[in-house]
Amino acid sequence: MAEQDYDYDLFVIGAGSGGVRASRIAASHGARVAVAEEYRIGGTCVIRGCVPKKLLVYGSHFAEELQDAAHYGWTVEGMRFDWGTLRDAVLRDVDRLNANYTQTLENNGVERFLERATIAGPNAVRLVSGREISARHILVAVGAWPVLPGFDGVEHCITSNEVFHLPTLPRRIVIQGAGYIAMEFAGIFNALGCEVTVVNRSDQILRGYDESLRDRLLQITMARGIVYRFNCPIARVEKKDNGCLAVSIGKHDPIEADAVLIATGRRPKTDGLGLENAGIELGEKGEIPVNEFSQTVCPSIHAVGDVTDRVQLTPVAIREGHAVADGLFGAHRQAVDYSCIPTAVFSQPPLAGVGLTEGQARERHGNIKVYTSDFRPMKNVFAGRIERGLYKLVTHAETGKVLGVHMIGPDSPEILQAAAIAVRAGLTKADFDATVALHPSMAEELVLMR
């Protein structure tokens, strides 16, 4: 088939962060672009992920702020919380963002098909309505989906997809998993006054993050009332006649709960996508294997975002989608650099990090030097809270180059973004020391470590 015979230059399956960015950039280069989305424009991050979850975090923070208000001279009477008000406000904002993303595609001349699409061949997609469309290039950006374990009664549980639609605030909630999704929702529900129990198959939380920060978060959240049950995943969930759930874990007595949230990871959403029609075999985790330019073994088909199981972060998917569009229709082809990606967990308190953890640095470089600042944020001191922040600089012992920055405490994600630039630029501990502190602030601890 000649190039001019294709219906589109680029057909994108999935209108999440990566797919929308690729569509917009490709269209700006003059390509004829269409995108298919079976649910809503915006994808996981906007519809059922980081954006609505961060809004819940904001909402839950008021519990602490209102408690501390008296120390600042405020009298707050009749304080109460209404879950329905917060939930509905969050969902309205999701509607707003869905409309904005849709408008972005429309403004850039991208045609939208609001139905499921699968791959029919190297240059063809098939819509669920039966129509087959040809495309010079196809981009798969369908993201990932929550993983559900196979225990009895799992049908009574919810995932991070459904948690935003809870009809009422659960008085007691059990959360299985100890990754960032589990820890963020544990903090939200704990702050809103729920009894929270976190159960996990291992004895660690937030595997992959710096050990000192993980330990500090565990201590603080336990002091706040979150109960942990390690080395005992859920074996069974039984729904009682009164509507409550009996959660059986290991050798412990069953836990009674009003809701059970499964947050044990996400899997690339590749089932039934038709990739075999283009000769593409999936990886061990169901991911689409791609090269450094997000190209599959089928030259006309690319994949970006969580469906590739590289780095499951929205900004990464956006960069990948942008790079694919530039490479196919722009002036240059460039691979995405995955080094020095800053990450954050919006737990309570939040933690953030960039670069190598202390353990990773020792393994890779051997001779390192670690600087820390263990302090009580001024706000906590004034409010009588004993929780302490912890900042850590991991440096090369000989060159002084900062290999990693890790922190836990109020506003850590906001502070880390600027620190990530320094790590990316290869600055040294001496560069940090030579920078005048911004006082009084928590961020000044980054340049005062000796």
217 alpha-carbon distance from chain centroid: 18
Listed in order, strand segments (DSSP E) in 16-104 are 33-36
336 and 361 Cβ atoms separated by less than 8 Å: no
Tokens of 111: 């045609």
Task: Using CB atoms within 10 Å of the CB of residue 25, give its burial: 0 to 12 exposed, 13 to 18 middle, 19+ buried.
Answer: buried
First to last CA, the chain: 67
What's the Cα-to-Cα distance from 366 to each of 88, 339, 396, 430, rounded to whole Å? 52, 20, 9, 20
What's the Cα-to-Cα distance from 349 to each of 24, 25, 50, 217, 324, rounded to whole Å? 36, 37, 17, 7, 37
166 and 83 Cβ atoms separated by less than 8 Å: yes
The Cα–Cα gap between 216 and 440 comes to 23
Other CB atoms within 10 A of residue 64 CB: 17
The Cα–Cα gap between 254 and 237 comes to 9
222 and 120 Cβ atoms separated by less than 8 Å: no
| 165 a catalytic residue | no
262 and 131 Cβ atoms separated by less than 8 Å: no
Which candidate, 319, 371, 299, 311, places its Cα nearest to that of 343?
311
Q: What is the 3-state secondary structure (H, E, C) of 177-209?
A: CCCHHHHHHHHHHHHCCCEEEEECCCCCCCCCC
Torsion sign (Cα): 259, 263, 266, 271: negative
Q: Strand 234-239 to strand 245-249: parallel, antiparallel, or no bridges (unpaired)?
A: antiparallel
442 and 410 Cβ atoms separated by less than 8 Å: yes
The Cα–Cα gap between 300 and 373 comes to 51
| Residues recognised as catalytic | 439
